[in-house]
Amino acid sequence: MSISKSRQAAMTAAMPASLRTAVAPYDWTRDSIGESGAAVYHLHGRDGAPDLYLKHGRAVTAADIADEAARLRWLAQYLPVPAVVQFARVAGPDQAWLLMTALPGATASQVLEANPALGLAVVDALAAFLRRLHALPVSDCSFDTGPAVRLAQARQRIDAGLVDADDFDAGREGWTAEQVWVALQDCLPITPDLVVTHGDFSLENILLQEGAVVGCLDVGRAGIADRYQDLAIVWRALGELDAALQQRFVEQYGLLDIDQGKLQFHLLLDELF
């Protein structure tokens, strides 16, 4: 969706001067990919300038954008992620902007929608990329997103009324956030197998080109966590397409079997974010 010149001018007026200068040579369209609560804009370059993406958010979302900026800078050492062009955050009211480079490719969900026959090839590419991600050095990662941290964040979100119960999976339609919380407690304790995780390894957040993963998006929840944080999200997404793709993914990732208890825990936890 295109943004009018007057709307664009009004939005840039609140930015720090350096960021206003950086986005001036661009036309904006609103983008729905990888939003996660933030407003995301595709900035189309003029006169040969490279395309960029801009995320903007306030309050809680501003904090999420700051988290993403920090993680993008760390992950850039290891994986194809958008480069941070500029990050800015101001108080009163709390706002943050994250300006990033655009990556090539189409999301895994777009690829599969356009050509379902590519299912096995897409699954193989996803599994190979997730193995690569989970092999990153935990000792070099300073971001803790393990079960204890995520449970504490989930409780805060419930208490603040931030959980969207209308967005729960079909199997929990009609549930309240408190019911999800109680069900989570019934899954505990779990023994985490800690790796560096993406945090939201969905088909919408992985970019492919010519059969290979060329980028990942929306990394604001990346950090050290149980590997099932990622496995559960992609397992659910593939199950909505074909159970055979789930099994193929597990095999290509390198698991002999899937831990149903951990899947349940992480899918319940994801409802609260």
- Tell me the domains of the chain and their CATH numbers: 5-101 (3.30.200.20), 106-271 (3.90.1200.10)
The pLDDT tens digits for 17-67 are 999 999 988 989 988 654 457 899 999 988 788 999 999 999 889 999 999
Q: How many helices and strands, by DSSP H and E, does the chain display? A: 10, 10
Which tokens belong to 81? 């992620």
Amino acid at site 248:
R
In the prediction, which pLDDT does 229 show? 98
**CA angle (109 as vertex; 104, 111 as ends), nearest 5:** 60
159 among known catalytic residues = no
Average pLDDT over residues 1-26: 82
In the prediction, which pLDDT does 97 show? 96
CA nearest neighbour of 176 among 168, 185, 184: 168
Q: Identify any residues that bridge with 43 across adjacent strands, giving them in sequence order.
A: 28, 52
Q: Look-up: residue for tokens 């609560």?
A: 37
Report the alpha-carbon distance of residue 210 to residue 232 in Å, rounded. 26
The residue from 47, 164, 193, 200 that is catalytic is: 200
Residue 2 in this model has a pLDDT that exceeds 70: no
Residue 121 in this model has a pLDDT that exceeds 60: yes
Residue 94 in this model has a pLDDT that exceeds 80: yes
Question: What is the average pLDDT score of the chain?
Answer: 93
In the prediction, which pLDDT does 136 show? 98
In the prediction, which pLDDT does 55 show? 95
127 vs 32 pLDDT, higher one: 127
The pLDDT tens digits for 230-265 are 999 999 999 999 999 999 999 999 999 899 999 999
Q: What is the pTM of this model?
A: 0.92
Are the CB atoms for 98 and 55 separated by under 8 Å?
A: yes
For 96, the 3-state DSSP assignment is strand
pLDDT band, very low/low/confident/very high, at 1 (cuts 50, 70, 90) = low
In the prediction, which pLDDT does 93 show? 82
Q: Cα-flanking dihedrals φ and ψ of residue 237, to 5°?
A: -65, -45
Q: Which long-range contacts (CB under 8 A, 24 or more apart) does 71-77 make?
A: 71/143, 71/219, 71/220, 71/222, 71/223, 72/100, 72/219, 74/141, 74/142, 74/143, 75/219, 75/222
Report the alpha-carbon distance of residue 4 to residue 189 in Å, rounded. 52
In the prediction, which pLDDT does 8 show? 78
The pLDDT tens digits for 185-203 are 999 999 999 999 999 999 9
